[in-house]
Amino acid sequence: MSDGDPLGPLVELDGVAEAAKSAQDAVFAVHRYGVNLREGSATAAEASVRAARASAGVEGVDPEIPDEGEVSDPVLAGALRVAKATESLLPTWRRAPLQALARIHVLAAADLTSDPDALGRPDPAAAPRIELLGQLVTGGTKAPAPVLTAVVHGELLALRAFGTADGVVARAAARLTMVATGLDPKALTVPEVACFRRQQRYLETAEAFASGDPDGVRDWLLFCCAAFEAGAREAQSIADAAA
């Protein structure tokens, strides 16, 4: 890590560098696995839907998609809209992440507010921290991709900048970061499932990260790295089913 890197101290926390390396190795292995090595589009498509469902489930809604008819739950519908738009959002995320966040919120919260003017507009009080986050995403750190992804995720959860669908926005931004950094370039993995299955721990460590306490930040980073590994296992099971 270079001197002055804002995420440098986080990488130096006990066990974080090792956990990040283990997570990265697990995700890379999935990209070299069977059908994913040749194509991966089937795995990515299923992973996208599972990620959206899990993200909605974390918010306490039923993540099941009905066999017939439209999705009626506004949170699940929003998460699915975001998932569908992820690939098209990627170029904007790379060059102008604040614009991408606004678009993610429009998609995620369209059915959650009666005030269309509130869509895509974060609380002005959160603007300085969102801008700093944007600088990190566009090259302001040399931290390992799992660490940057976890910071993007944790910061957006902590800020709750939009007031609606903030969790869905945070998890979508983390997913974009995984792709943009090259950690998961084909978007094959589903760490969101680990967040859903270990929801209480997810919420506890996110709150600990928001406190800024070094031990709490470390707990969150380690949780996220474990979720990346679990997401890689989920991707392998998807690939096995598609083979």
User: Average pLDDT by consecutive 10-residue portion of the chain (243 residues)?
Assistant: 83 98 97 80 93 98 91 97 97 98 98 91 95 96 98 98 97 98 96 97 98 98 98 93 77
Max CA separation in the chain (angstroms): 56
pLDDT tens, residue by residue, 148-184: 999 999 999 999 999 999 999 999 999 999 999 999 9
- Show Cβ contacts of residue 203 under 8 Å, excluding neighbours closer than 6 positions: none
What is the DSSP secondary-structure string of 45-57?
Answer: HHHHHHHHHHHHH
Candidates 161, 195, 175, 184; CA nearest to 89 is 175
Alpha helices in the chain (DSSP H): 8-11, 16-31, 34-38, 41-58, 74-95, 97-109, 127-135, 145-159, 166-180, 191-197, 199-211, 214-242
pLDDT tens, residue by residue, 86-109: 999 999 999 999 999 999 999 999
Q: What is the pLDDT of residue 3?
A: 66
Domains defined along the chain, listed by start: 8-63+70-242 (1.10.3290)
Q: What is the pLDDT of residue 52?
A: 98
Return the structure tokens found at 97: 């992440």
Spatial distance between the Cα atoms of 197 and 192, rounded to a whole number of angstroms:
9
Q: Are 145 and 175 in contact, with CB atoms under 8 Å apart?
A: no
Return the structure tokens found at 198: 């270990």
How far is C-alpha 62 from the chain's CA centre? 20
Spatial distance between the Cα atoms of 112 and 120, rounded to a whole number of angstroms:
12
How far is C-alpha 57 from the chain's CA centre? 14
Residue 228's alpha-carbon distances to 37, 92, 166, in angstroms, are 19, 24, 21
Candidates 164, 168, 89, 170; CA nearest to 129 is 170
